[in-house]
Structures are given as C-alpha cells and as structure tokens.
Amino acid sequence: MSFFTVSGLTAGYGGAPVVNGVSFEVEAGSLLGILGANGSGKTTLLKAVCGILPHEGSCALETENLEKAVLEELPPRRLARLCGYIPQRSGISIDISVLEAVLMGFNPRLKLLEYPSREMKEQAREALQAVGLGGREEENYQHLSEGQKQLCILARTLAAGGRLLLLDEPESALDFRYRYRVLELLKGWLRNGDRAGLAALHDPALALNYCDCLLLLAGGEVRSLLRPGSDSLGKMEAGLSELYGPVSLRRCQNRSGREQLVMLKEEEGRQL
C-alpha cells in the first residue's frame, strides 16, 4: 500500500460531478502535481481530498504508527494536524500581523483556550525566514502583495507540519524566481520524513521539473499519469497535448549542467 491513496473520488457542487471517479496513489516523500486546463477540477479535487467538499470515495493516509487513517472519518482537529491546506487565495480578511497569520497554523495543536508557545513563535519566525519574509513579522498581512501572502501561508503550513500537504496553485501569484524557490522549499520539506504533497499547478515547466508524478485531469477525470523522471518524451507530449493543445518537450541543460524539461507550444492543427 502506498503512503496516500485516493480511491473513487467523486465530488461536485450539487449538480453534475466536477470530479468523477478519480483514483491515484502517492508514495512517501514524493510530490504529485495535478495538471489540467481551467475548470478541469483541480481545485475541486483538492477540496474533496481535505474534506471541505462533501464527496464519494475515500482517501487513506499512513499515520505515525503506520496505520491507515481514512481522512473522511477523522475529527476536524486530527485531520488538521495531519493535512495542511493552502487555498488559491487565503481568506484572511482582518488586519493581523504576518507572524500572527503564521501562528494560526498551530491551532490544531493547541487547546481551545491555549495560546502559541515561545517555541511555536520561534518556529514561525524560522518558517518566515525560509520563505523570504524574514524581518517582516510585525507588518500587516493585508499590506503584503498577493505573492507574499501566498509565501506567508506557505510558511504557516510548513511550520505547522503535518504529513500531507495540499496546495492549490501555490505558484499562481509568484514571480519567476519565487516559483522555483517555493518548489525547492516544498521538495526540502518532503525529504524530511514521511510526508507527501499534492499540488495543483498551472505552470507545466515547474510541474515537469519538480513533481515525481503528474496527474493529468480533464473534464474531472484522470487522462493519464506521467512520471517525468522515467517516461519517454513522446508519452508525455501526447498526454500534455491532450490538455493544452499541441506541445512538444525538449530536454535542455542550464549552465551548471542540470537538465530541465522545457515545454514548447506548437501550432494549432499541426500534426505532431
């Protein structure tokens, strides 16, 4: 059995299901990227996995004592301790400091009337340092740019820990440099112990170079599952072309010799 298993997930918003019968597995320490065109069900899938949306099917996660926890059956605080969730946009609507926004992440570990400890504050500061927001702890969260808010929420989730991280387009508001930084951070976090990540991504270049496995979603169903590390370019091109129209892939090296996959757009209507 894998670290995290999703089987037969069907979810929607009352009408026809937006995500239909999705099943997949994620190994410990790996990052699964979810790719799909707008409206293909990426967000719905993530929301169903963390139980925000009512759904059919089940999600099972390996816990500390190697048992399987069915996420649907967990009480909210236990679920929140196991899974971190980064929405596309955080709904924090009040004027709190950046540090306080990060400290919100410790809530599942605190008793109802308890307050974050000194160590938690220290961890929160370290997490802010790691995402590049060091020294801005006392600033108003609302005055940050959208990208900085995403970094702050990432810091919140990384500091809070958990075993499964669900990220909904964490890169959407970030500049070129920070997109790579965030994915590096995520990979670093995943290397430390029994953890797994699920990220809906918009940027195929990022997904191809950082994810261990790619779930291609179209019309709420899994079209194909790609492994950028081992699959042939041809197979990946075929899969990605289904989502984005004709594309081709190249392997390139940067100056330090590190290989990267690059996706190029091909002319519409042209035979590949």
28, amino acid identity: A
**Of 1, 16, 66, 94, which one interacts with another protein (CB under 8 A)?**
94
- The answer to whether residues 199 and 27 touch, using CB atoms and an 8 Å cutoff, is no
Q: Which of 105, 220, 228, 239 binds another protein (CB under 8 A)?
A: 105
Tell me which stretch binds another protein (CB under 8 A): 4-12, 17-25, 83-91, 242-250: 83-91
Residue of 2, 5, 20, 97 that binds another protein (CB under 8 A): 97
Which of the ranges 65-73, 109-117, 229-237, 261-269 carries the binding residues for another protein, by CB under 8 A? 109-117
Is residue 15 near another protein by the rule CB under 8 A?
A: no
Under the criterion CB under 8 A, does residue 50 sit at the interface with another protein? Answer: yes
CB atoms within 10 A of CB 197: 25
Give whichever of 10 and 209 is closer to another protein, judged by the CB atom.
10
Among 12, 41, 84, 239, binds another protein (CB under 8 A): 84
Cα separation values, 31 from 46, 93, 167, 202, Å: 14, 30, 11, 15
Contact between 54 and 14 under an 8 Å Cβ cutoff? The reply is no
Min separation Cβ 65 and another protein, Å: 21
Q: In 3D, which of 23, 4, 28, 15 has the Cα closest to residue 221?
A: 23
Q: Does residue 16 contact residue 221 with C-beta atoms inside 8 Å?
A: no
The answer to the question of residue 115 lying near another protein (CB under 8 A) is yes
Phi, psi torsion values for 202, nearest 5 degrees: -100, -25
The sign of the dihedral angle between the CA atoms of 185, 7, 41, 34 is positive
Structure tokens given for 38: 């707008």
* Nearer to another protein (CB atom), residue 30 or residue 44: 44
Is residue 151 within a helix (H) or strand (E), and if so which, with residue range?
helix 146-160
Distance between CA atoms of residues 74 and 67, nearest Å: 13
Q: Report the residue number, 28 or 53, with the smaller CB distance to another protein.
A: 53
Per the listing, tokens 């959208």 go with 146
The residue range among 49-57, 121-129, 195-203, 211-219 that interacts with another protein, by the rule CB under 8 A, is: 49-57
- Rule CB under 8 A: say whether 261 interacts with another protein: no
**Does 147 contact another protein by CB under 8 A?**
no
Which of 27, 73, 95, 184: binder of another protein (CB under 8 A)? 95
State whether residue 113 is helix, strand or coil: coil
Query: Residue 121 has which token pair?
Result: 């504050």
Question: In the bound complex, what is the minimum distance in angstroms from residue 77's beta carbon to another protein?
Answer: 4
Q: Which of 2, 58, 140, 209 binds another protein (CB under 8 A)?
A: 140
Q: Which residues bind another protein (CB under 8 A)?
A: 47, 50-52, 76-77, 79-81, 83-85, 87, 90-97, 100, 104-105, 107-108, 110, 112-113, 115, 136, 138-140, 143
